[in-house]
Amino acid sequence: MFQILVKKLLYGILVLVGVVMVVFLTFQAFGDPARMVLGQSGDAKTIENIRRELYLDQPKWKQFIFYVNDISPVSIHTKAEIEQKQLRGFFLGGDTKLGLKIPYLRRSYQTKKEVTAVLMEALPGTVMLAVAAMLIAIMLGIPLGILAAVKKNTWMDISAVVTSVIGISAPSFYMAIVIAYIFGLVLHQYTGLPLTGSWFDINETTGQRYITLQNMVLPAVTLGIRPLAIVTQLTRSSMLDVLNQDFIRTAYAKGLSKQRVIWGHALRNALNPVVTAVTGWFAELLAGSFFVEYIFGYKGIGKVTVDALENLDYPVVMGSVLLAATIFVLINILSDMLYAVIDPRVKVE
């Protein structure tokens, strides 16, 4: 298992290297970062200093090396660079130090804050939203899938299949607009749900933040619709395959109750494709809830990234893409490890 884990990590590193190259080549060609930092009123001397600070006076291949050196956890920096960039980690050496550090995603052009701080401030909101959406999908999708499989070819089965197809076909941004309009505007007096809002509110007197789960309901339901449909269909399909196998008939022959056979034997053997869907969709919700967060005004990675794109704040966008890619890699590795726990038939040679 350890060898497989190391192999998966190496594959993940290769994926991240490819993402870094694509991100750098994509955004390096857009605009003049020095002009974006200073605005249109900056003088030529100041712009020249900014370009030197951002390595824009160097050839493209050197700019790429400097960028990789900044975002890599293992890097080489001078003592002046460590102090200027306020790098956090352990460094060894003299004036030029080799160290293990927290990746430096540079600073926002607009706010001058570190990109890492900007993303970490928004990440809890996205994580909470993704967890809530996946809980909706799992708690409703698995029972609906089991019910559809057990009641095959009945109105319950047909209803579940038709509803899941509609859920898969509906784009999230469209459903966000519809749900926001119906439940946040038209039926607001009955639901009490706000049209927009973040995962926290600020006390006007003390200035302290406090969590408001009410604001998460509409965006979480919107994000949960498509994974709910996927989980329902996969659970139904996998359960139908398992229910026709010999060990299920043997369990019935031994006198086990139908409830115990379905929930204790069939479901566990049918969960592998569901786990794949859940982990994949959880990674996608963490990284892909951009338009839903933007429509609901929900402060998360998605809204921060869209706002940064509007303001041409490319370090924030680049950092967001790298964070999303890292999340995908880590969750895919985690899903592979979960297979052996859920299904004993999965063996590692």
Return the percent helix, strand and coil in the chain, to nearest 5: 70, 5, 20
Query: Domain count of the chain?
Result: 1
Q: Which residues contact 19 (CB under 8 A, 6 or more apart)?
A: 321, 322, 325
Averaged pLDDT of the chain: 81
Q: Which residues contact 101 (CB under 8 A, 6 or more apart)?
A: 73, 75, 87, 88, 89, 90, 91
We report the CATH number of the domain holding residue 143 as 1.10.3720.10
**The model scores a pTM over 0.85:** no
Residue 6: what pLDDT? 81
Residue 56 has pLDDT above 80, yes or no: no
77 beta partners: 97
* Torsions phi, psi for 105 (to 5 deg): -90, 15
In a domain, 349, yes or no: no
In a domain, 194, yes or no: yes
Residue 215: what pLDDT? 80
Residue 33: what pLDDT? 66
Comparing 32-41, 73-82, 175-184, the range with the smallest average pLDDT is 32-41
pLDDT digits 0-9 by tens, 222-236: 888 888 888 888 888
Return the structure tokens found at 335: 């899903």
What domain range includes position 140? 115-342
In a domain, 16, yes or no: no
In a domain, 249, yes or no: yes
In a domain, 185, yes or no: yes
> What is the distance between the alpha carbons of residues 247 and 7, in angstroms, rounded to a whole number?
35
**Closest to 138 in 3D by CA, of 302, 329, 271, 291:** 271
In a domain, 241, yes or no: yes
The tokens 């600020």 sit on which residue?
Answer: 202
In a domain, 12, yes or no: no
Residue 337 has pLDDT above 80, yes or no: no
Residue 43: what pLDDT? 65
In a domain, 55, yes or no: no
Residue 153 has pLDDT above 70, yes or no: yes
